[in-house]
Amino acid sequence: MQSAEQLFRKMQTVGHSPNLQGYAILLDGYYKYGHLERAMAFFQQLEEQGVNLDIVIYTILINGMCNAGKIEDPNRLCKTLLQNWCQPNVATHTTLINGLCKEGHVNEAHRSLKEMGQKGCSPNAATHNILISTALESKDELAVSRASSQNS
């Protein structure tokens, strides 16, 4: 990560402005290498600089928080997305649902699925596969049936 940060700073020093893809790569790297605090500081820095963040950045943030077990924050972040007029897409919702399932918040995951549909965002096969897989892992036949019926 240190090399990536140095390259990122050097790029800025020579007058090249990073684009959203560059920000996304660095943010994702922080999470992949377990640097949650640095990722959050970087995100806040982008907000303070007035960078117009897109859904990809927010989805990376949600995924990183979910993987770090910070499930309360992604829920709050989704609400922030809506306040900032950045509509979560299927990838964002699926990322949140996956994080909720991993943390054992299956009912909350199903609520998120329902909200997703109410907001006009159709779940995809990956969304349903997460719920079915979670139900199978719990060996809960009712949950498997519920997850399977939502896929129809």
| Per-residue pLDDT at 147 | 58
Domain residue limits, the chain = 1-53, 72-152
The pair of structure tokens assigned to 29 is 């790297």
pLDDT over 60 (residue 152): no
pTM of the shown model: 0.77
User: What SS3 state is found at 84?
Assistant: coil
pLDDT in tens, 95-146: 989 998 988 888 888 888 998 888 899 999 999 999 989 988 877 666 656 6
**Rg of the chain on CA atoms, in Å:** 17
Angle separating helix axes 90-102 and 72-83, nearest 10 degrees: 160
